[in-house]
A = this chain, B = another copy of it.
Amino acid sequence: MRKQITLKTDKLFTDLTDEIVSFASEWGHSGLVNIFSPHTTCAVWLTEDEVLHHADIRFFLDSMAPQFKDPEGNQKNIKYLHDLISLRNDVPADERINGHSHIRYLFFNSSETIPIENGKLILGEWKRIFAVELDPVRERKLVCSLIKE
């Protein structure tokens, strides 16, 4: 059984837990749920729902893979080769300057897999399921798949 989750990501972490818990509950079986992001700058991650922890992650990413701007303050990332658009083929007209987002992706996952027992996720007391948006606000479509034991 499979479901697409459509969301508008307006912050680093968007909590998907309730929607996935409901989907598994309707299903009612035991097995695994896999939540997959088909996007290259929107990941899936499990962590605590605590805003100061999320701020720690944001500062950590800013320090590990900073986004540089030019002195005039325009968004022009001069550190990442991926952003030298004039060297690339077949670049879409609306291509984003987001080399740093692609590097930040290395800290997260394309998907997470979680065990389900009789329709109930075994997620632990503090873990929640998040879409991690590494670009500014975007429309994203994730894929939630249920696999029977």
> Which residues of A are at the interface with B, using a C-beta cutoff of 8 A?
1-2, 30-32, 34, 36-40, 46-48, 50, 52-53, 55-57, 59-60, 64-65, 80-82, 84, 87-88, 99, 102-103, 105-115, 117, 122-127, 143, 145-149
Chain A interface main SS type: mixed
Q: Establish whether residues A38 and B127, one from each chain, have CB atoms under 8 Å apart when the complex forms.
A: yes
Q: Could you pull out 26 A-B pairs where Cβ atoms are within 8 angstroms?
A: A2-B115, A32-B34, A32-B145, A32-B147, A34-B115, A36-B115, A37-B124, A39-B126, A39-B127, A40-B127, A50-B82, A50-B88, A52-B84, A52-B88, A53-B99, A55-B81, A56-B81, A60-B65, A60-B103, A106-B107, A110-B112, A110-B127, A111-B113, A145-B149, A146-B149, A148-B149
Distance in Å: Cβ of A145 to nearest Cβ of chain B:
5
